[in-house]
Amino acid sequence: MLPQTERYLDLGRQERNHWWRYLAGVAIIAAFWIGLGVLPYAWLAAVLEFGPLADYLAVNLTIVMMLTGLALAMRVLHRRPLMSLVAPGNSIAWHRIFQGAALWALLAVISVAVEHSLYPDRYQFTFNAGRFFVFAAVALVLTPIQTTTEELVFRGYIMQGLATMVRAPLAVAIVSAAIFTVPHLMNPEMRYGGMLLAASYFTIGLLLAVVTLRDGRLELAIGVHAANNLTLVLVANYEGSVLATESVLTARELDAAYALVSLVIGAAVFYWWFFGRNRTVANATRG
């Protein structure tokens, strides 16, 4: 096990790390997210006419409830600061977030460009300036909150909790990716290809878990997740998405096979860039 990986997982093995505390913590998080999360829907339904913006607000406000549940679990059950889910020392390496976000956004845009060149009739230009900029302002605020919260829960809390019961980092990564996949199976886009889309959710979950453990910090995963969702909601979305948005491009349908293949390639490039590139250069130099 790499030293940075062990230091990160050891954060979950501090005092008050009993298995039942993590189980209770997951129950609290789920109760706030799924149970109390209906309150924003009810409130917005009473004051706004539902459309892409109102729906996006409602979905993301449920994530605020998830964050509230996580903060409560960390405070009451574990007596640990929330930032201990990010890295040892309770600090944030902001440059690492931006590095991860920049590379993943570039890979996502390249994927969309390649898809459009292969299937030129798939995307429609749906940009509407009057609606786009209002939606973008909301998305740029709420999406990072949503994705960071999910990273704190799935790659932070759950992986550190699993590490109290499972020593092998790869097993921790695989189980956390499987757990991350489960709630996404309820998304409406599953009708485009259940097994392929499940594999896509598992792949992105595994990538985020592996880079977190390899880096010994959560920031790269935070950056990737934010860039992934912002690209989806602002640049290129598809009809029938779980999130109806005001994107620049909209595909007539989701190609589950293309999505999985491009995701696997993107994940490999991303991992190589951050963790394999220097080794490749060093080997070439020695040769």
Domain borders along the chain are 3-286
Quote the pLDDT of residue 283: 46
Quote the pLDDT of residue 35: 85
| Over residues 175-195, mean pLDDT | 88
For residue 236, the cross-strand partners are 249
Average pLDDT, the chain: 90
> What's the rounded Cα separation, in Å, for the pair 88 and 74?
15
Q: Which of 161, 144, 7 is nearest to 70 (CA)?
A: 161
Flag the least confident range among 40-44, 175-179, 251-255: 40-44
For residue 249, the cross-strand partners are 125, 236
Residue 227 pLDDT greater than 60, yes or no: yes
Quote the pLDDT of residue 45: 65
In eight-state DSSP terms, residue 255 is -
Q: Which two tokens stand for residue 274?
A: 């951050």
Residue 86 pLDDT greater than 80, yes or no: yes
